[in-house]
Structure 1
Amino acid sequence: MKFGFIAHPTSVGLKRHAKLIDLTERSFREQDRGFSPELWQWRNLVPFFALDEVVSSTGARCSGIVDYMPLTAEEMLADPRTVARRVEAGIEDLKARGAEIVGLGGFTGIVGNRGIHTAEKVKIPVTTGNSLTAYAAYQNLLQAMEKLDVSPVDTEVAVVGYPGSIALAIALLLLEQGCRLTLVHRGGDEKREQLLGYIPQAFHSAIRLSNRMEDCYENLRFYVAATSTGGVIDPARLRPGSVVVDAALPRDVMPAHTVRSDILLIDGGLISAGPEVSFGDAAGNFAPKMFMNGCLAETLILSLEGRRDSYSLGRVLPLEKVLEIGELAQRHGFTTHPMASAGERIGDEHYRDLQPHHRSSSQGATASSHGEQREASLARFRRHINPLLADFYQFNHCERVFQSGSGCTLTDLDGTRYLDFVAGYGCLNTGHNHPKITAAIREYLAAEHPTFVQYVSVPYHTALLAERLSQLAPGDLSRVFFSNSGTEAVEAAIKLALAATDSGRLLYCENGYHGKTLGALSVTGRQRHRNAFEPLLPQCSEIPFGCLESLEAELRKGDVRALVIEPIQGEGGAIVPADGYLGEVRRLCTHYGALLILDEVQTGLGRTGKLFCCEWENVVPDILVLSKSLSGGAIPIGATLCSPTLWDTAYGSIDRCILHTSTFGGGNLAAATALATLDVIEEENLAENARLVGARLLDALREIAAQYPFIRAVRGRGLMLAIEFCQSFEGSIESTVQELAHRLPWNPRSSYRMLPDSAKRHLDKAIAELESSMQDMFVLRFVSKLSQEHGILTFLTANSNRIMRIQPPLVLTEAEASQFILAFDSVCRDMSTFLD
């Protein structure tokens, strides 16, 4: 059976959308058939889309035509009689094109006395779709109540738009559930008896009538809205915890100036097709299966049923027919799940902020199941920390909450164990909760040692740590400034260099990474990290990493105060320079009188196979920067080391000795933890373990990579490795268009040539960005598959979404390395459908 449907735009924006469809469709037809006056005549209806075959879960089939009447609700209200005649003409047109039943969307169903007069004028069944819309909105409200653990019995609900057909049907259904209702209507109190007449006498004690929305805001938290005017509910005045099921078009909730997370606005009355419903193989992933308006869905369901009778006409919709169409929809695989808010799917996280406002004193406030704890944690993160990052976690299936960690293993709330090959981005060289480090923390706290004693006494443990680092570091780096993080340690290094020199520039390397505070960002060689914060520090110049000629050319100018560099670029993707490079950097800086600041925040403390990466070439920097794993990742700490001579030059007077300080830097607890960490690194020979296990891991991964051209490189040193991917999608969109272009009846190439140059430039840029993002998505699928299927955690580097970091704790065993190798090989096979 074939159906027709007349939709109309509910906003100016959607009217322009219809205008775009109309102009495009006519232009394409002209290119196919040539110009004709008839093609550019006035249209009553604008073609929108056609459904050539819909197959329901029962195997029933139908097809349909959906057209637009290009008028907004306001335009229809201005001349309803003319619009009614246009609706009738549109129905006749759809009938002539094979429709056996026609659905009327929005105001096209209201004009003509809610479809009654329209049905009398045309010789074909019609429906307004209001029954399924009412059913869906009613179910939306019940589902929201269930999520919030609220019983409908004796819960008061505002039904806005009473006694419109949808609002009236919803009111009757809710009364059957035991709800109390405030029925919000237009007009004065003189209509009271007439308004009450639609409700059976037995329910009168459960309702109150109001013509003022203000009567609802103070006390009510549940609303169902279905007026014909729109814009009657002010979201700013809703109580925290409020839920509004807005089934009106245009929407009854006014546009909000600020987004509130403590209310939920549900796009009411929508129906979605389940996975067992097909809209034709050609439509594939682009079939309009989700969030159909109830009026369209009802027309489709009736067509699947082969029902050639009018439905949902008039103000009073028989409840048995409302429930019947809901049951038929479910039978054919159409449901009110999932729900949407502003077009976005609603998940459990959307209810988290509302639950405290509905929880009775007898209900516990603590999530009980592991799933609830995880969702609650994600909701708190979204609400109070970073909502977009929370979305990223969900989209990429990494919204885990870990409850314990040991060595290289993390265990989540469900008891699932993961091998951690991220290790806090290099913070956990000694692994999670190393027993000697946690014991040192417990002993320190049990002894009640003082932690915060700046300027009123000498910090005992901090002084011990400074001495220990001086003994371990190369050369005479025996003065130490303590801070709380790597970027703070870099800031201290920059300020030390500036204070010790007279004037000139700082040099840094392309693709380098030194942190995100303002000074560290000024010497970070990745523009996407910098753009939002410019202007940064002046007189900072970038040079290529690994290029001695460029370095010497800058040094030769005689105005370089210091070079800030990583011995191996970490966030840049484990970029290892040629052998001898760092030694030559040291020689050139010495020759030209520039300070060498070596950032070993990631490479230090055994990560590359030696305690400090600079030891591979026996280089002694002027300033050495450490952090991350200095305390085994347990307590924030950073350290900036230099020689006494350099420190004295910068700060060696009573006026200058405390020019740069840090409130919590150099605390005794962090220092005691760092001392225990250094003991573990030395006693367990973790640098040597990193060298041996890392070399085996590198060789095995390179052997696998050689089989797959989408892996560009595997590189690194010790257990600071990276895998760079290159699954190019460059030119894919252009090729797709070209492949389709000659098969289409219109002329895409000519249409493109007629675009202004500026439009072409924007399109080309958008296409390039989209193709680039597809490469990023490919790598993220690797990350997801390793964690979801093999229980191994990896992630990307900060500077590139196409480089996967391999930085496990240095306690990694051969067996654990083998587990990663097997998993990576398996994922490569799975992802090898396309080999360039």
Structure 2
Amino acid sequence: MKFGFIAHPTSVTLKRHVKLIDLVNRNIDEQSNGYHEDYWKKQNLVPFTTFDSVISKAGSQCSGIIHYMPLTAEEMLSEHRNVTKRVIEGINDLQSRGAELVGLGGFTGIVGNRGLQTAEKCSIPITTGNSLTAYAAQRNILQAMERLELSPQGIEVAIIGYPGSISLAIAQLLIDKGCHLTLVHRGKSDPDKYLNYLPSQMHSSVTLTNNIEDCYGRIKFYIAATSTGSVIDPARLLSGSIVVDAALPKDVMPTLQPREDILIIDGGLISAGPEVSFGEATKNFAPKKFMNGCLAETIVLTLEQCREDYSLGRILPPERVLNIGQLAEKHGFTTVPMATDGEWITDSHFYGLLRHHRDIQVSLDTSKHLQRTQTISRFRHHINPVMADFYQFNHIERVFHHGSGCQLTDMDGTIYLDFVAGYGCLNTGHNHPKVTKAITDYLSSENPTFVQYVSMPYHASLLAERLAELAPGDLSRVFLSNSGTEAVEAAIKMALAATSTGRLIYCDNGYHGKTLGALSITGRTKHRSEFEPLLPECHEIPFGCLTALEEELQKGDVRAFILEPIQGEGGVLLPPKGYLKEVRRLCTKYNVIMILDEVQTGLGRTGKLFCCEWENVVPDILILSKSLSGGTIPIGATISNPRLWDSAYGSMDRCILHTSTFGGGNLAAATALATLNVIVEENLAANAIAMGEKLKSSLEEIASQYPFIKSVRGMGLMLAIEFSQSFKGSINATAQELAHRLPWNSRETYKMLSDNAKHHMLAAIDAIESNLEDMFSLRFVTKLSQEHNILTFLTANNSRVMRIQPPLVLNSQEALRFISAFDSVCRDMSTFMD
């Protein structure tokens, strides 16, 4: 059986979408067959799409045609008599194309006395789809209550648009569920007239009003289905309110200030489940999600071989509404997922409203599932909603509640092998018992934590002494701060204070932090551009290039040179052998301060306590952070030689030019002392070499089989895998492939575009192809976590480099587990072997 459907645009922009379809279709006809006046004549309906085969979950099959009435709701209402004629003409046209049932979408079913007059004038059955729309809308409000763990019994619901057919049907269904209703109608007619649309036994469950103002201060649940639109002011809604907006045009007024404490549900929408097919040709492009109830009802009735009018007139019998809902579910069409402004609704949307409906206490006794939901919602609403979207898209919206060694356990009880380790913060692993004991011992002894600048802090002094013992050469003056970027800031200020004039030079692709000073010497435009101007007189040179360095130093105006021994966030890039030693020689020759950022490379990560020890280099300033406290308490350290410190701060006027309220706190220092002891006593640097060699050699062997792996590189347990799966030219090739197969001359159409349009199209194509390469790399991260419970991530400056930075307590069994999992993922991703 074949259906026809007359849709219409629900906004001015969607009308322009229909206009675009119409223009393209006419041009295709002309280019395929030559010019003909018929191609450019006025049309009643705009052809949109054809479904050659819809196969339902139950195995039933149908086909269909969708055409557009190119008018908005407002336009149809303003000329409803003319539109009725156009609808009838459209039905007849669809019938001539083989349709045996025609669905009327939205307002095309309202004009002409809600379809009754239309049906009388047509020789095939029609449906407005209002029954399934009503079913879906009432299910939406009930599902919202379920998600809030509320019973519908006794809940007050406002229904806007009563006694319209959809509102009237919803009212009866919700009264049967035990809801009390406030029915908002138009006009000032006798209330009994409106009440009598409902069975007498339901009258005690409703309140009638013609003023929506009566609802705002006391009701939190709304269903709206008017024919006018823009009747609900979202600014007036109580916190926690939920509106199921099933109207076209929308009943919730547009607003420039969206509220996060209410939820507007796109009401009356139906989605086809995975068991429903719209044909293999459109497998990934079929409009299966969030179709309007009108279209879904038309498809369901056709699948049922139903050749009779449906959903006509004001009275939609509740049993017919429930029946069409049951038939829809039988064929795989449901009201889940729900959407808000086209975005899928998740648990976090509802959790944000929970506190407005019932008392939610933050408790460790709360179920792990609820804790996870709460955390995701808090993050989305109060920290970073865009990152929440990123986590969700890449299936990494996890919440961990336990960590030990190289393992993390999430709220669902799944245990993961952690190869991120806080981006180098967890060299001693999660919750190393000796580090944890140092914290608990410190707290139980009631030592004073913050006594800076009114006394000499005991533990901070011990830590400074210990760092001086461990650091290379004569590095012995220590400034303690709270993070790597603060430690970098301290180094910059010391270099500036110790010199009179000149520039700072840094390396392209380097990463030193995101505070303004550190950002000024971070070599990535993406991180810098929104915050410029930054510090003046900062100059970038290529990493690993001694010629470029000496050319700058020869100018005689350089104060300091800052670099990483290995560029971590830059993609774990190693300079040529001997580079660091030559940097030291050149800085000494030209009297330039050498600042070495070992925030990631330090404390055993590369196989020595400090990476500079591989070439016996002693910088003037050494920067540490991340794993200095085992990743438990924020701390950073800027270590310099006494001569430089004296030049910068060696007088009473200058000795406190740079300070930090929390830097040098005793608790952080005591934790760092315990961490250093663990790193040294357990010889974690040696383990980094042993495990790093095992990982690197095995990964290189795997990489040799797969051309989409560009390289495996690194030192110790600071490793990386760079991918190279090029999509360069793929979009252009796709367009070309389609172009010469299509029956119309698309190349000629492209030639007619302006140079400006072509320029922007090409730029967009380049950006998309680049993003596809990033997406390929990110799927390795996703597959490792989803299928093998191993956590990895990409580097900050290069989205095609996957970092391999597990805790330095990694053992052989854990290393072999990663190798096996990575090999498996490579096999899965090897469809294309460029």
Q: Same fold (TM over 0.5)?
A: yes
Deviation at 1:260, TM superposition (A): 1.7
Separation (CA, whole Å) in 1 of partners of 2:439 and 2:192? 76
Deviation at 1:371, TM superposition (A): 2.0
Separation (CA, whole Å) in 2 of partners of 1:59 and 1:445? 67
Separation (CA, whole Å) in 1 of partners of 2:758 and 2:736? 16
**What is the count of residue pairs matched by the alignment?**
834
**2:679: which partner in 1?**
681
Q: Which moved more, 1:441-450 or 1:565-574?
A: 441-450
Q: Which amino acid aligns with 1:585?
A: V
Separation (CA, whole Å) in 1 of partners of 2:411 and 2:271? 33
CA offsets, 1:669-688, max 9 Å, x none? 11111111111111111111
CA offsets, 1:412-445, max 9 Å, x none? 2233221111111111111111111111111111
Q: Which amino acid aligns with 2:823?
A: D
Separation (CA, whole Å) in 1 of partners of 2:538 and 2:442? 43
**2:540: which partner in 1?**
542
Deviation at 1:372, TM superposition (A): 2.0
Deviation at 1:359, TM superposition (A): 2.0
Deviation at 1:182, TM superposition (A): 0.5
Deviation at 1:115, TM superposition (A): 0.4
Secondary structure of the equivalent of 2:99? coil
Deviation at 1:535, TM superposition (A): 1.1
**1:334: which partner in 2?**
333
- Unaligned runs of 5+ residues in structure 1 are none
Separation (CA, whole Å) in 1 of partners of 2:758 and 2:738? 19
- Unaligned runs of 5+ residues in structure 2 are none
**2:42: which partner in 1?**
42
Equivalent runs, 1:42-61 vs 2, <5 Å: 42-61=42-61
Separation (CA, whole Å) in 1 of partners of 2:367 and 2:667? 35
CA offsets, 1:475-506, max 9 Å, x none? 11111111000000000000100111111111
**2:297: which partner in 1?**
298
Secondary structure of the equivalent of 2:596? strand
TM-score normalized by the length of structure 1: 0.98
Q: 2:487 aligns with which of 486, 489, 503?
A: 489
**2:515: which partner in 1?**
517
Q: Which amino acid aligns with 2:298?
A: T
Secondary structure of the equivalent of 2:505? strand
**2:232: which partner in 1?**
233
Deviation at 1:370, TM superposition (A): 2.2
Check conservation: 1:367, 1:373, Cα contact below 8 A: no
**1:652: which partner in 2?**
650
Q: 1:749 aligns with which of 744, 747, 750?
A: 747
**1:7: which partner in 2?**
7
Separation (CA, whole Å) in 2 of partners of 1:473 and 1:201? 88
Secondary structure of the equivalent of 1:354? helix
**1:803: which partner in 2?**
801
Check conservation: 1:220, 1:239, Cα contact below 8 A: yes
CA offsets, 1:212-268, max 9 Å, x none? 111001000111100000000111111111111110011101112222222111111
**2:111: which partner in 1?**
111
Secondary structure of the equivalent of 1:801? coil
Equivalent runs, 1:81-120 vs 2, <5 Å: 81-120=81-120
Q: 1:735 aligns with which of 727, 733, 736?
A: 733
Q: Which amino acid aligns with 2:674?
A: A
Equivalent runs, 1:218-617 vs 2, <5 Å: 218-359=217-358, 368-617=366-615
Change in Cα spacing, 1:367 to 1:36, as seen in structure 2 (3 Å) is: farther
**1:780: which partner in 2?**
778
CA offsets, 1:384-431, max 9 Å, x none? 111111222222122222222111111222332211111111111111
Separation (CA, whole Å) in 2 of partners of 1:507 and 1:233? 59
Change in Cα spacing, 1:740 to 1:114, as seen in structure 2 (3 Å) is: same
Q: Which amino acid aligns with 1:157?
A: V
Separation (CA, whole Å) in 1 of partners of 2:330 and 2:442? 66
Q: Which amino acid aligns with 2:737?
A: E
**1:80: which partner in 2?**
80
Separation (CA, whole Å) in 1 of partners of 2:555 and 2:75? 72
Check conservation: 1:367, 1:376, Cα contact below 8 A: no
Deviation at 1:581, TM superposition (A): 0.5
Q: Which amino acid aligns with 1:760?
A: K
Separation (CA, whole Å) in 2 of partners of 1:442 and 1:486? 25
Separation (CA, whole Å) in 2 of partners of 1:63 and 1:533? 56
Q: 2:711 aligns with which of 706, 710, 713?
A: 713
CA offsets, 1:288-333, max 9 Å, x none? 1111111111111111111111111111112221112111111111
Separation (CA, whole Å) in 2 of partners of 1:191 and 1:701? 80
CA offsets, 1:698-734, max 9 Å, x none? 1111111111101001000111111100011111111
Secondary structure of the equivalent of 2:249? coil
Check conservation: 1:427, 1:628, Cα contact below 8 A: yes
Secondary structure of the equivalent of 1:282? helix
**2:131: which partner in 1?**
131
Separation (CA, whole Å) in 2 of partners of 1:566 and 1:203? 76
Matched, 1:664 2:662: yes
TM-score normalized by the length of structure 2: 0.99
Q: Which moved more, 1:785-794 or 1:26-35?
A: 785-794
Secondary structure of the equivalent of 2:190? helix
Check conservation: 1:136, 1:336, Cα contact below 8 A: yes
Q: Which moved more, 1:566-575 or 1:390-399?
A: 390-399
Separation (CA, whole Å) in 1 of partners of 2:15 and 2:624? 60
Q: Which amino acid aligns with 1:246?
A: D
Change in Cα spacing, 1:790 to 1:473, as seen in structure 2 (3 Å) is: same
Q: Which moved more, 1:412-421 or 1:757-766?
A: 412-421
Separation (CA, whole Å) in 2 of partners of 1:456 and 1:62? 83
**1:20: which partner in 2?**
20
Check conservation: 1:783, 1:795, Cα contact below 8 A: yes
Deviation at 1:366, TM superposition (A): 7.3
Q: Which amino acid aligns with 2:329?
A: Q
Deviation at 1:347, TM superposition (A): 1.3
Deviation at 1:588, TM superposition (A): 0.9
Q: Which amino acid aligns with 1:674?
A: A
CA offsets, 1:333-374, max 9 Å, x none? 11111111111111111100111222269x998774322221
Separation (CA, whole Å) in 2 of partners of 1:128 and 1:408? 59
Separation (CA, whole Å) in 1 of partners of 2:587 and 2:547? 13
